Amino acid sequence: MNRISKSFLSTVMCMLLLLSISVTAFGAGLTGSGTEKDPYLITSAADLDAFSAAVAAGDKFSGKYVSLQTNVAVSSAFIPVGTAATPFAGVFLGNGNSLTGFNMNRDYAGVFAYTDGAEISDLSVAGTFRATDYAGAVVAFAINTVIDGCTASASVSAKNYAGGVAGYIESGKISGCTVSSRTPIIGTGSYCGGIAGYSGAVIEKCSNSTVIFGAEKVGGIAGSSAGDILGCTNVATITASSSYLGGIAGYLEGAVINSMNKGNVSSNGTGVG
């Protein structure tokens, strides 16, 4: 009897373990297998919530593909994708579709809170993203991440690290992205930019037409850039209350190549360019 009981208990534990793995490692019940030819499909707000929950539960989606199949208005329960412990590391295909209805007021505010080794493409985002630190319509905090062909029409504000696309991107690339909103991007502390608050990545062929109000390190493309900026355009008015303000980058350690500022630039501090 003891042996039977132990065997039964072992079987139950194995089943529970497999169930746990299926929730985290196999797309949280999303349709698809996560391959390039058969990606996990997101067709509703519930799917988006399940995807976020799976990442939070421990699945980084490394090497996996997630595809947004239609425009989705997010649920009020949506939590940004990725955590410090489990950043999203897969490929997210927006397919030209949009995610709308965001109304966030939390640190690391964005569709994705944390990414590391991720690729995000062809996604449109609209809504409100407020934070004390790290706010970006697409990604709040990114490492080694590629963001391509995304558009943002969003209200973004933070004390530190506010960007139309990314609040902070340490490395990787932002390319072909457009930020256009009637609501200004606001940074009350440091690092506020039309595309990125802080960028250590390459930013190329991006444009910003959203008014920016910042304090220190404020730029039409990047508040501060350690990476190169190529072929980018800013047409919006930029205002800083402190120092380091630029039509393209407020504080620059990389290079600016073939880029243009057409917006008015004004500051009460030093370091205006």
51 band by pLDDT with thresholds 50, 70 and 90? very high
Write out the two tokens for 242: 């402190």
The confidence score (pLDDT) of residue 181 equals: 87
pLDDT tens, position by position, 75-118 = 999 999 999 999 999 999 999 999 999 999 999 999 999 999 99
Q: What is the mean pLDDT of residues 244-262?
A: 96
The residue with greater pLDDT, 121 or 2, is: 121
Query: Which pTM does this prediction carry?
Result: 0.89
- What average pLDDT does the chain have? 91
pLDDT tens, position by position, 106-152 = 999 999 999 999 999 999 999 999 999 999 999 999 999 999 999 99
Decide if pLDDT at 11 tops 70: no
The confidence score (pLDDT) of residue 242 equals: 87
